[in-house]
Amino acid sequence: MARIQTDKDVSRKEVIIKASAKLFREKGYKAASMRDLAVKVGVEAASLYNHIRSKAELLHDICFNVANVFFEHMNEVESTQATPIEKLEKLLRFHIKQMLENFEEVYVSDREWRYLADPYLSNFQNQRRSYRKRFASIIQQGIEQGQINKIDASTAVLVLLHAISGIDSWHRSTHKVSGEELEENIVTILIQGLQK
């Protein structure tokens, strides 16, 4: 009988969530089956249900874990005394770092959240909307202080966030750019693009 392997301090549930993040990223939530997941974990499909409640719960856990990480970082950034441009640079670098270090989860949270079921769906959308609003208001401050070009702040947020989410694993594996180099390239384009 094949057991789910766990290092200490890592529950079997966490092993399954991690595997599901990879699977959902590779195939998409809807196309990924619990049987696929079982193979990845090394167990029969039915056995998964000793540890999790449902497929939906997996997506839910992934999305909200990621959302909370970004939310907390936003709190941190807002509480500092930095200029708007410096704050934006901090946010961008954090997004890039998360995308590189936590790729599967961040990617899934970004692209597959629409398959969340209510009430989690509306919840997630609200959190997302709120995050973008706070992001936009930092840009707006930069505009009012004359550091940033006069552009529509919420359009700029979309441009920045989507530009970063485009950095998927394909890029690093086939093109062999280091994480640091990647970060500098992106920050150069986007921060300079905003500045006057």
Partner DNA sequence: CATATTTGCTAATGAACGTTAATTTTACGG
Partner DNA sequence: CCGTAAAATTAACGTTCATTAGCAAATATG
| Among a copy of itself, DNA, none, residue 145 binds (CB under 5-8 Å by kind) | none
Residue 31's contacts (CB-CB under 8 Å, 6 or more residues apart) are none
79 vs 192 by CB, closer to a copy of itself: 192
Q: Is there binding between residue 15 and a copy of itself (CB under 8 A)?
A: no
Q: Which of 77, 62, 93 is nearest to 187 (CA)?
A: 93
* Contact status: 34 vs a copy of itself (CB under 8 A): no
Nearest of 109, 86, 90 to residue 165 by alpha carbon? 109
> Per CB under 7 A, which of residues 17..76 are in contact with DNA?
32-36, 43-47, 49-51, 54-56
Selected from 115, 127, 141, 147, the binder of a copy of itself by CB under 8 A is: 115
Binding to a copy of itself in span 48-107, by CB under 8 A? none
Tokens 């070009």 sit on residue: 149
Residues 152-181 that bind DNA (CB under 7 A): none
- Which partner in a copy of itself, DNA, none is near 3 (CB below 5 to 8 A by kind)? DNA
# residues near DNA by CB under 7 A: 21
d(CA 133, CA 106): 20
108 and 63 in contact (C-beta within 8 Å)?
yes
Tokens representing 59 are 């997506």
